[in-house]
Amino acid sequence: MGDAQRPDGFRTKQVHAGVKADPETGAILTPIHQSTTFVQPSVNEYMKTGYTYSRSGNPTVRALENKLTALENGVDSAAFASGMAAINALFMTFLGAGTHVIISEVAYGGTYRLSELVYTRFGVEVTFANTSDVSSVAKSIRENTALILTETPANPTLKITDIAAISEVATNAGIPHAVDNTFLTPYYQQVFDLGADLSIHSTTKYLDGHNATVGGALVMAREEHIEPIRFIQNATGTIMSPMVAWLTLQGTKTLSERMDRQSTNAMEVARFLEDHPAVEHVVYPGLKSFPQHDLASRQASGYGAMIWFELNEGAEKGKTAMSALQVWTLAENLGSVESLATHPATMTHAAVPAEERSRLGITDGLVRLSVGLEDTEDLIADLDQALSLD
């Protein structure tokens, strides 16, 4: 589909990049280096191994960072304790008192909370712009704009930002452009090929894929960003643990296979919902009815596994249907092998004021689906029985 192609050898890289057999035992899996400190050969050879203290670097975490760098075709990565810790590190690297940041107006609720309710207290100016409109972003740039952060597809409305177009605007203005690539991952969306400077992940989601960890990562396309981001990683200490890194390493090895299956399921579920009499509106980038379908097809090599819909009878009917689901799980996460249903207004985006949610299309009746690996027929049958309840 479309013009975008997966990078050569992606599946090989997701299995092998960043890892090697343990030199002492031959273990095929990277060991969990659950150690606080690392013995130094001598005072003169301090840091010869590259590791001194796990806050400043850990071999297991480094293996994951190297894998993510390879998958994104970047120059380096930094892993963090959560996706929000990664975004905080991004902000701390580029923002300070008197600076200005432009953020996609539709973004994860945690991004809104951190920028609007925390960073503004320290003199950072924040503009939430319609990043799907290039002119809106260009008009929002000020002399003190230090960063542009876009999330595409956006959570939860799936609004698409033209990464190449925004990257061109950012480059011309000398401003770094960071893209939250959590929903599509580098398997479906290569943001550096489209001109972005940084890629952000909640590794909790598709990269882990098994609801087993909480983690985040910043991947860099430019050498000049390595040192300042690693300085923040070390200085703030919001590091990923070795166990989380080890589990994420295993999850990432099956990323492409999981995403292909989940996306196939999502297309079938979306088509079912589009034809269901109880459904007023369904949004999925793979549907021809999706307003930005052409851009979604051109910019990425897959449509992902996120869907949202609204029912004819409104929010109360939606809550009733969600409570009746049996195969789908009501939970506040996405990207896992299990299919999950979420009510953003009361869960993921509760920090966003009601009037702002309404303006952005995050209505009280919006139901977000993260489609998993189950049998398509079972997922559809479960939705059908829940939607058919009086």
Over the stretch 227-263, which tens digit does the pLDDT of each residue have? 999 999 999 999 999 999 999 999 999 999 999 999 9
Asked if residues 296 and 184 have their Cβ atoms less than 8 Å apart, the reply is no
- Give yes or no for a cis peptide into 153 (omega within 30° of 0): yes
Active site residue 108: yes
Choosing from 55, 113, 271, 319, the catalytic residue is 55
**pTM for this model (two decimals):** 0.93
Q: Is the pLDDT of residue 6 over 50?
A: no
Q: Which helix (H) or strand (E) holds 76?
A: strand 76-80
Dihedral angle, C-alpha 153, 155, 156, 162, nearest 10 °: -30
Q: Coil, strand, or helix at residue 39?
A: coil
Who's near 246: CB < 8 A, 6+ residues apart? 29, 30, 32, 60
Round the average pLDDT of the chain to a whole number and report it.
Answer: 93
Selected catalytic residue, list 13, 205, 258, 261: 205
Range with the largest mean pLDDT of 151-160, 291-300, 361-370: 291-300
- Is residue 112 annotated as a catalytic residue, yes or no? no
What are the tens digits of pLDDT across the range 329-380? 998 899 999 999 987 766 656 667 777 776 766 667 778 999 999 999 999 9
pLDDT of residue 103: 98
pLDDT at 216 over 60: yes
> Does 55 participate in catalysis according to the annotation?
yes
Active site residue 319: no
Q: How many CB atoms lie within 10 A of CB 118?
A: 12
Catalytic entry in 67, 76, 108, 206: 108
Domains, the chain, with CATH or none: 10-252 (3.40.640.10), 255-387 (3.90.1150.10)
The residue-averaged pLDDT of 159-177 equals 98
Q: Are 63 and 18 in contact, with CB atoms under 8 Å apart?
A: yes
Contact 217, 200 (CB under 8 A): yes
